[in-house]
Amino acid sequence: MFKLFGLFMGALVLATLGSCMKDNDYEEVPVAVVTMVNGFVSSNGVRYAADNNYIQPQGYNPLFYQEYGYFRLFPGSRRIRVYNDTNEVLTDDSYTFKENTYYTSFIYGWQDDIQHLLTEDKLLDNLGDKSAFRFLHLSPSEGLVNVYLNNTETPLYTDRAYEGNDEEAAEEENENITFVPQNSGKHTLIVTNADGETLKEREYTFEAGRHYTLILIGDGSMARPLYLGIVPQY
């Protein structure tokens, strides 16, 4: 069975869109595609709603902690709400979505520190035999962290702060959401704290031509230990 972040995957959610069918001809409707990533520590699962339509309807599994899923939207201004597992609103904001554009919604934080980051994803052309990575520090319990590739002599990202520390930063000013090319294949990712102590390690095989988001989530507790999530996207 396919796994998400090392856990069993729930149903892949795709919002159904209308299309035109005439004389057996199919006309594809331009849409925006949104990846949802749940790193919110203080709920077992979340539900998304676009305008007044639930992406995960009541009676179906929510997007569980550590999972991801996808949905599609018509372009334009859309009200995006995220609810916790007791149907309380976590975030409620409006965004303008463009056709034929990819986005990622990260819900993260803990307790009253509820964070929502929506990124417009700029994909890299002509990756060839390389992959594309980005890393987001979404763990509210950790200070500055570093990410290394295969050994601590090869840093990928250094002195990364918790993304929720800078709530006023505009998305276009956040360099952390940018994908950068890296060698594909099997690698070991190592996350350390500012003192050089290893927090997490994970081995993963990255496919050539794919884009990946690496995330650190959890609060270091027994219930929500730190987790290095890898989201294969495009």
- Look up residue 55 and give its two tokens: 């992406």
Per-residue pLDDT, averaged over 154-183, amounts to 86
Phi, psi of 177 (to 5 degrees): -85, 0
Q: Which of 102, 73, 64 is nearest to 213 (CA)?
A: 102
Asked whether residue 185 carries a pLDDT value surpassing 80, the answer given is yes
Asked whether residue 171 carries a pLDDT value surpassing 90, the answer given is no
pLDDT classification of 4: cutoffs 50, 70, 90: very low
pLDDT classification of 9: cutoffs 50, 70, 90: very low
Asked whether residue 201 carries a pLDDT value surpassing 70, the answer given is yes
Per-residue pLDDT, averaged over 103-109, amounts to 98
Nearest-angstrom CA–CA distance, 59 and 39: 22
- Residues with Cβ within 8 Å of 137's Cβ and at least 6 positions away in sequence, in order, are 145, 160, 161, 162, 163, 215, 216
pLDDT classification of 168: cutoffs 50, 70, 90: low
Identify the structural domains of the chain with CATH numbers, from first to last. 1-121 (2.60.40), 123-234 (2.60.40.1120)
Alpha-carbon separation of residue 231 from 70, 78, 183 (angstroms): 12, 24, 17
